[in-house]
Copies of this chain bind each other. A is one copy, B any other.
Amino acid sequence: MNQSPWQPIRPEKPARPVREPLSRERIVDAAMSLLVEQGYEAVSMRKVAQALNTGPASLYAHVANKKELDQLLVDRAAQDLEFPEADPEHWQEQLKDGMRSMLKVMRSYPGVARAAIGQVPLGERALESTEHFLAILKAGKVPDQAAAWAVDLIPLYVTATAFEESVQRAWEWTEDDITRFVGELREFFQGLPAEKFPFTVALAAALTAGGSGDERFEFGIQVIVAGLASMAEK
């Protein structure tokens, strides 16, 4: 206002792009948003770059490649894991709670299961999760080697469950579609030739029960925990 208009103005580079510089942090943030909003398939180097208003090549100064970005996403998701204090009296129930919590986190980041499968969990939070599962297993007197392999089996089962769900979710079926599909499936099983498929026909109803996934998952963790309990000492 009070600046005389004919005074020469040095326009302090107004066109300069004051964009925040790129960083691993910002890249993971952007990738995580894409993952949550649009699933794993949407997390491409190009789309992440676009979300950050830059080109795909720019990401490679901060992230080695797509695989490393996947690992960073798994680490980020692992931060949401929660574990109660280990309680030796109820180690079996605690093991189940840990697995339920793990599935919950993976469900809240659809697609992270695909990135997690086959990864050795070495992030800080992943290590804490391993430590916690070991503590629970040892409280239950599970032998060392069995406990060690169990902390491999447990994430494998939970991740596989979450991955399977995410694959099926990618087909974009509605609740109705699923109900109809399950019904048709039951009829298909029932209609099979009984001489050749006696058990499949007889158990058609049981085979198609628990479509939502929760009951099947509960069954799975019950089998695993009971199996581990059978190996416990004393």
Contact = CB atoms under 8 A, between A and B. Distances in A.
A67 to B, nearest CB: 8
Contacts of A224: 223-224, 227
Contacts of A156: 157, 160-161, 164, 220
Interface string A155-169: 011011101100110
Interface in A114-162: 117-118, 120, 122, 127-128, 130-131, 134-135, 138, 144-153, 156-157, 159-161
Given A145-B209, A220-B153, A160 B117 contact: yes
A216 B138 CA distance: 19
Interface in A192-222: 192, 196-200, 203, 206-207, 209-210, 215-216, 219-220, 222
A51 interface: no
Contacts of A161: 156
A81 interface: no
A118 B122 CA distance: 27
A149 B210 contact: yes
A228 interface: yes
Nearest to A150: B223
Contact of A131 (B138, B197, B206, B215): B197
Nearest to A119: B167
Interface size of A as a range: 35 or more
A231 interface: yes
Given A120-B185, A149-B210, A230-B227, A144 B203 contact: yes
Contacts of A131: 196-200
Contacts of A185: 120
17 contacts: A118-B167, A118-B168, A127-B192, A127-B200, A131-B200, A134-B200, A134-B203, A149-B219, A149-B220, A150-B223, A153-B223, A156-B157, A156-B160, A160-B160, A223-B223, A223-B227, A227-B228
